[in-house]
């Protein structure tokens, strides 16, 4: 067995097979999948494939895609990490990640980001840690018009920034305008308003406004402790909420 990693756009003969492997996990039309894979190029995004060469034959094992992270020149995003279904559980996913990291490092990237619904433990074992979200357009930002980038970045404002803005607004107290100065002279005689009572200064603190401050965003869900055991004495399976999307990162250098 000889495992090797290849850049997909240099080996277009793997396009069809790679599309089938990805559609096993994330079904979509074959034409749309091929169109996405054909965007792989030297300037990113780049699609990588893991191939097993054995007895003169080559078998495509899995795929990964690397994209540029907007605003972070030394960072990239890895996505669409997938292993052929019938070959899962043999360690190929770890090999794909390691080979992808090597390729990213060879291209001058020092940090890798990713998102996952339910593979947090797998990536934690590869030294990825939870982090804030980043922005990737799937293509070189230099090829995207500036006005479109502004629209896209505005539409993907990070949730924690939204929470912070909302909290700042709700915690701000609008003060009434200052009273009109009476130094210009006495009030007109035609005024029938009774004289104002003298002001008194109270040492009692003002009652706080009735504010509803939203709670901070919840932290990433914590897995069930692996130290716990079931009634049969076997470790409990770590489960994550599949509705939760986790952002993770790793420093490659």
15-25 vs 30-37: helix axis angle to the nearest 10? Answer: 120
Average confidence (pLDDT) over 175-192: 51
CATH class held by domain 2-160+240-251: alpha beta
- Whole-model pTM: value is 0.67
Identify the CA nearest to 85 among candidates 62, 53, 58: 62
Cα 117 from Cα 103, distance rounded (Å): 25
Cα 156 from Cα 135, distance rounded (Å): 8
Domain map of the chain by residue range? Answer: 2-160+240-251
CB atoms within 10 A of CB 63: 25
The band of 31, judged by pLDDT with boundaries at 50, 70 and 90, is very high
The band of 207, judged by pLDDT with boundaries at 50, 70 and 90, is very low
Cα 58 from Cα 13, distance rounded (Å): 11
- Is residue 244 within 8 A of residue 221, CB to CB? The reply is yes
Average confidence (pLDDT) over 64-75: 94
CA 24 to chain centre: 24
Choose between 107 and 198: higher pLDDT: 107
Q: pLDDT, tens digit, for every residue of 215-241?
A: 555 555 555 444 444 455 555 555 566
């Amino acid at each position: 067995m000889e495992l090797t990693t290849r850049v997909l756009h240099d080996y277009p003969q793997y396009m069809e097979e790679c599309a089938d492997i990805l559609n096993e996990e994330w079904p979509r039309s074959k034409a749309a999948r091929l169109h996405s894979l054909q965007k792989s190029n030297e300037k990113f995004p780049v699609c990588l494939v893991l191939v097993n060469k054995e007895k003169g034959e080559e078998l495509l094992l899995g795929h990964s895609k690397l994209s540029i992270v907007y605003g972070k020149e030394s960072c990239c995003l890895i996505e669409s990490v997938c292993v052929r279904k019938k070959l899962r559980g043999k360690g190929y996913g770890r090999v794909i990640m390691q080979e992808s990291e090597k390729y990213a490092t060879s291209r001058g990237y020092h940090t890798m980001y990713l998102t996952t619904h339910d593979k947090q433990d797998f990536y934690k074992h590869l030294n990825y840690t939870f982090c804030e979200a980043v922005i990737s357009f799937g293509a070189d930002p230099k090829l995207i018009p500036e006005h479109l980038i502004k629209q896209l970045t505005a539409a993907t404002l990070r949730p924690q920034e939204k929470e912070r803005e909302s909290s700042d607004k709700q915690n701000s107290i609008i003060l009434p305008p200052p009273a009109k100065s009476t130094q210009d002279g006495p009030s007109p005689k035609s005024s029938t308003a009774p004289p104002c009572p003298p002001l008194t200064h109270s040492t009692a603190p003002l009652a706080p406004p009735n504010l509803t401050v939203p709670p901070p965003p919840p932290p990433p869900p914590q897995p069930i402790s692996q130290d716990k055991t079931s009634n049969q004495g076997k470790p409990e399976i770590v489960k994550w909420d599949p509705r939760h999307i986790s952002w993770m990162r790793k420093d490659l250098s």
